[in-house]
Homo-oligomer: A and B are copies of this chain.
Amino acid sequence: MSSEKRVCLAYSGGLDTSTILKWLILECFLADLGQEEDFAAVEKKALALGAERMVIDNLQQEFVDELIFRGIQCNAIYEDRYLLGTSLARPVIARAQVKAAHKYNCKILSHGCTGKGNEYVLAECHRLYQSLSVIAPWRMPTFFNRFAGRQDLLNFAAENNIPVSSTPKAPWSQDDNLAHCSYESGILEKPDMPAPKDVWTRTVDPLEAPDVPTKFSVTFREGIPVKLEVEGGETVTGSLELFKALNDIAGRNGVGRIDIVESRFVSLSSLSYSCANNLTASSVSSPGAATTPPAMTVLRLAHIDIEGMTLDSKVKSIMAWIGNEWSQCLYNGMYFSPERELLENSIIFSQKHVHGTVNMMVYKGAAHVLSRSAPESNLYSEEQASMDTLEGFSPEDTSGFIAIQAIRLEKYGAAKIQQGEPPGSRLVKAALP
């Protein structure tokens, strides 16, 4: 077949991409980002359904080094809850799918994402190379009218001998990778119902976590975790190994379960980010209600703590804004953009001296910072912090500082009194003689 018509489908083995596979003729692609998956079974299924080839790429190392740890460096978070597990994975997947398309002579990319997610990444990649186009069946009337609901997919699967893994016992879909596992659809769409106990993977129930806490330390160089030392246990230094070990430790202790409702870029307030965020989405992509990022939770806390010892306060304040912009950029699928490069240039610069070790404990669903040290930093000085030794600045300096600061407040207060409304609300008013 000429490359003009060759399609590279992001294939997960799930119901919808299997349906698409039957519907098209395909090379198939699946990224290995550390999800729990029987990759051999996926390949077998793809080939059985008629795929010409099943490409499976292990992208775990670059996922941790280029996306996850960049997120840690800028304390990335979205709407104060979501640690961006799906958003971090998408650029890595998209990049590798484009690479696979090139390698296997495809001019068309495809995926099982619906219209509810933020799929720019793929579109961008295609456009970047200006020689690929995208087929998104869930946005094509011929496809979505044919398969109006999940039942139509199931019927089609039955007719075409597509094995269906989403059994009635687990009627939700999930997006699983090293950063997190998220769950959506089915019961999870009811925001007033707790997630069922058996939905969670990657974390044990805090109620069933060990009765003894696990203590460990994380060491940072330039804001990057470089060493994990577990009390009475192993020392891990490779980035991927470290991240996996922390996932294991935190997950075993029930750390990282989050139940969220979230605004999506396309302006729906939904339970969790859309599965469609994930280019290898394996199901009908209903929004879900749960996410478990165990290592992310621990590392974000540790990184914020070590910045307290190593970053100037004003720099911290500027970087909070930069980190928020980076998080929104990633969430909105804008990884391959000039603003992302601009923001990362600042992030990396800011971390030049973020070196130190944070001692922590995880226990029954919570992560705690116990202490920390940053011997190369002079920001925190025990002596200067202590009242017992007042050398270095004069207490009188503070009087001057306060007096200057107070000038504008004095003026403001005088104006308010003149207007009959003393500042600080009714209670101050009552206090007036």
Residues of B within 8 A of A353 (CB): 415
Listed stretches A43-51, A73-81, A224-232; interface member: A73-81
Contacts A267-B405, A371-B194, A407-B267 given; indicate if A339 touches B325 (C-beta within 8 A): no
Q: Is A158 an interface residue (CB 8 A)?
A: no
Which residues 394-424 of A have a CB within 8 angstroms of B? 394-418, 422-424
Q: What sequence of 0s and 1s flags, for each residue 73-96 of chain A, a beta carbon within 8 Å of any chain B beta carbon? A: 001000111000000000100011
Q: Is A350 an interface residue (CB 8 A)?
A: yes
Listed stretches A5-13, A23-31, A233-241, A362-370; interface member: A362-370
User: For residue A401, which residue of chain B has the nearest CB?
Assistant: B404
A413 to chain B, nearest CB (A): 4
User: For residue A262, which residue of chain B has the nearest CB?
Assistant: B308
Task: Give A314 to B349 CA distance when docked, in angstroms.
Answer: 21
Q: Are B80 and A304 in contact (CB under 8 A)?
A: yes
Listed stretches A32-40, A133-141, A161-169, A244-252; interface member: A133-141
A193 to chain B, nearest CB (A): 5
Contact of A261 among B81, B140, B308, B314 (CB under 8 A): B308
Residues of B within 8 A of A206 (CB): 363-364, 366, 368
Contacts A99-B430, A261-B308, A313-B269 given; indicate if A398 touches B406 (C-beta within 8 A): no
Q: List 12 A-B contacts (CB under 8 A).
A: A98-B431, A99-B430, A123-B402, A128-B422, A128-B428, A149-B389, A260-B369, A268-B407, A337-B409, A397-B399, A398-B404, A401-B403
